[in-house]
Amino acid sequence: MKYFLDSAKLDEIKEAYSTFGIDGVTTNPRHIMLSGKPFLKAVGDIADWIAKEGLEGKERFPVSAEINPHIETTEEMVKAAREIASICGNFVIKIPCTQAGIAAARQLEKEGIRTNVTLVFSAAQAILPAKNGSLFVSPFIAWKEENGEDCRKYIKDIVDIYKNYGYYGKTEIICAAIRTPKQIVDCAVAGADIVTAGLAVYKDSMNHPFTVKGMGVFQDAWDNTAKE
């Protein structure tokens, strides 16, 4: 399973890449806002870092960048997507899972502009992006679970549907809005291709009290081992 970083902060991207070897990045308007930079500056800085690291290519290190969420028509979505895609060859364009968005993603894929259909909250919504050849589909996890739903079957259903019809591995499933290490595990068990989470979630996934306890035991043994 691939790990993407859900952030537009360049310092977090650098740390996640050097520490955890993340495979890509996902951004959204909220992440851009939290970066403190204008949209074009934020995505431009990420593009410059990609070039500096020699990570060019969507297949090597995809970065999802979202169109203006106020845009409602297919034509305007396609236009905005073309403009963003022209900035960097690594950019995959995030399109909302609406009727207009599905039509836009379908058109963009025909043009060779890869898409990530986002704001997916049901297995039914996940089918058409795969049928139309989008590179990614992003079912959200935490928002549903915060509303009292258990998302394990939801993700497993999407995986099974994709396997039934040959979509699995062609349209990759990015489990988005991941808030806990348990959600990472649930998505991995279900067979999702990718999880995308904030840096703090990945750091938290490496913590366990028995690891801390074990380090203390071994450090004590090391310190008390005969020196001669």
For residue 58, pLDDT over 90 is answered with: no
For residue 59, pLDDT over 90 is answered with: no
For residue 49, pLDDT over 90 is answered with: yes
Task: Name residues whose C-beta falls within 8 Å of residue 103's C-beta, 6 or more positions apart in sequence.
Answer: 74
| Mean pLDDT, the chain, whole residue set | 97
For residue 41, pLDDT over 90 is answered with: yes
Which residue intervals of the chain are DSSP H helices? Answer: 10-20, 29-35, 39-53, 74-85, 99-111, 123-131, 142-146, 152-165, 181-190, 199-205, 209-223
| CATH T-level assignment (fold) for domain 2-223 | TIM Barrel (3.20.20)
For range 128-138, the mean pLDDT: 98
For range 57-79, the mean pLDDT: 96
Over residues 82-97, the pLDDT tens digits come to 999 999 999 999 999 9
Q: To the nearest whole percent, how much of the chain has pLDDT over 70?
A: 100
Task: Name the maximum alpha-carbon separation found in the chain.
Answer: 78
Residues forming the active site: 94
For residue 228, pLDDT over 90 is answered with: no
Asked if residues 139 and 158 have their Cβ atoms less than 8 Å apart, the reply is yes
User: Per mean pLDDT, which range of 43-47, 146-150, 157-161 is the poorest?
Assistant: 146-150
Over residues 109-132, the pLDDT tens digits come to 999 999 999 999 999 999 999 999
Q: To the nearest whole percent, how much of the chain has pLDDT over 90?
A: 97
Over residues 155-202, the pLDDT tens digits come to 999 999 999 999 999 999 999 999 999 999 999 999 999 999 999 999
pLDDT of residue 19: 97
Q: Where are the domains of the chain?
A: 2-223
pLDDT of residue 206: 96
